[in-house]
Every structure is written in structure tokens, then in C-alpha cells.
């Protein structure tokens, strides 16, 4: 089942030549359960949860479930959002990690979630996936790291992306997208 099948509100339905907001903007609920494969088309698991950084308003991590059978024995992984790429043609995510390497990733089980606001933990996760926690627009993950350091783009709204002074038609820098 893909995000188009989980679309409760019809936001991805083609109506009069437009197909709604996706893939530039996606409903988070429609992405839960989305399949994740690697660059070799090997299935790695599925998205169980999407974690928001409440300080920046950015998606920080997707929780990937890997292994196990019917939820038993599966391991969970916090994958930085910037490490995932949406494959709109096949309606799935791609994570550039070998399946055997993923088995060694820092993970957790459903009854023992890590403190995702711990910067040491966050740095280890970013190091494993090769993403940059210090990148402008990356999640803050630290208490007290507020939006005060963010620039305001057009319309005076907070927008942590580099190049945020452009108009709202510039969607090429959305993390996790295959646009642009």
C-alpha cells in the first residue's frame, strides 16, 4: 500500500490536470507504512513514525522498522529525514544504505526509545547515515534551540532553508524530495 492508497482526503487525486500538493508537500499520515528500499532495490523496511523537531518545525527523523515478523523482533531506526529520498514513480522511499550495514546501525526497540533530543545521540545517528546535523535547516534537537536564529523569507514566515528569500515556487531544496 502506498501513500496514494492511504490518502483519506483526496489530496493526491488528479482533478483537472493537478494532482494536489504531492510530492512537494505530503501529508505525514499518508507516509506512515511507506516502503523503504536501498539503491539496489532491496527492501529495508517501512516507515513507522515521523518525528518533528518542535523547535524548528522541520521533520527530524523517520522511524524505520527493519527485520522481525509481524512486528515481533523488529528493530527501529531513527533515520535523518535528509537521508531519505522520495521515489514518486514507485511510491516509496530510497535510503542509500546496504542491508547488511543497516543491521549495524544504532537502533532501538519499541519499548525503549532513545532520548532524541540528546545531541550526542543525534550526532551518532547523523554520522552513521552521512548527514550533517549542523547543516542550516537541519533539526536543532536541543532544548532551548529556538527559531530565533532562523531567517525569515518572503511573507515574514520562518524558513530555515538556505536561499529562503525566493518566492514559494522554489521547492527544489525540500529535504527528502527528488525534485530539482
Tens of pLDDT along 148-180?
Answer: 333 333 333 344 434 444 444 444 444 444 443
pLDDT: is 133 or 79 the higher one?
79
CATH code of residue 90: 2.30.30.240
DSSP for the chain reads --TTTT-SS-TTS-BTTB--STTTS--HHHHTT-EEE-TT--EEEEEEEEEE-TTT-SEEEEEEEESSBTTBS-EEEEEEGGGEEEETTTTEEEE---HHHHTTS--B-TTS---TT-HHHHHHHHHHHT--TTSTTS---STT--GGG--B-GGG-B--STTTTS-TT--TT-TT----
Task: Specify the pLDDT at position 70.
Answer: 60
| Domain membership flag for residue 143 | yes
| Domain membership flag for residue 50 | yes
As a whole number, mean pLDDT of residues 1-26 equals 63
pLDDT: is 28 or 23 the higher one?
28
Give me the domain span that covers residue 124: 28-148
| Domain membership flag for residue 161 | no
| Domain membership flag for residue 71 | yes
| Domain membership flag for residue 106 | yes
The residue whose grid cell reads 530565533 is 148
| Domain membership flag for residue 129 | yes
| Domain membership flag for residue 119 | yes
| Domain membership flag for residue 95 | yes
As a whole number, mean pLDDT of residues 45-56 equals 90
Asked if pLDDT for residue 124 goes beyond 60, the answer is: yes
Domain tally, the chain: 1
- Residues 65-106: tens digit of each pLDDT: 987 666 566 899 999 999 999 888 888 999 999 999 999 999
pTM score, two decimals?
A: 0.67
Amino acid at each position: 500500500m502506498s501513500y496514494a492508497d492511504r490518502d483519506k482526503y483526496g489530496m493526491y487525486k488528479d482533478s483537472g490536470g493537478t494532482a494536489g500538493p504531492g510530492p512537494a508537500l505530503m501529508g505525514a499520515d499518508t507516509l506512515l507504512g511507506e516502503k523503504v528500499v536501498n539503491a539496489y532495490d532491496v527492501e529495508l523496511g517501512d516507515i513507522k513514525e515521523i518525528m518533528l523537531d518542535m523547535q524548528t518545525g522541520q521533520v527530524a527523523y523517520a522511524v524505520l522498522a527493519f527485520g522481525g515478523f509481524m512486528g515481533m523482533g523488529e528493530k527501529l531506526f531513527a533515520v535523518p529525514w535528509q537521508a531519505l529520498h522520495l521515489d514518486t514513480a514507485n511510491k516509496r522511499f530510497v535510503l542509500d544504505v546496504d542491508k547488511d550495514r543497516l543491521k549495524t546501525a544504532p537502533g532501538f526497540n519499541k519499548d525503549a526509545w532513545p532520548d532524541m533530543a540528546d545531541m550526542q545521540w543525534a550526532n551518532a545517528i547523523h554520522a552513521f547515515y552521512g548527514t550533517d546535523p549542523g547543516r542550516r535547516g537541519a533539526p536543532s534537537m536541543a532544548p532551548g534551540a529556538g527559531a530565533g536564529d532562523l531567517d525569515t523569507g518572503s511573507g515574514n514566515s520562518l524558513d530555515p532553508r538556505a536561499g529562503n528569500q525566493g518566492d514559494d515556487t522554489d521547492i527544489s531544496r525540500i529535504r527528502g524530495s527528488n525534485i530539482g
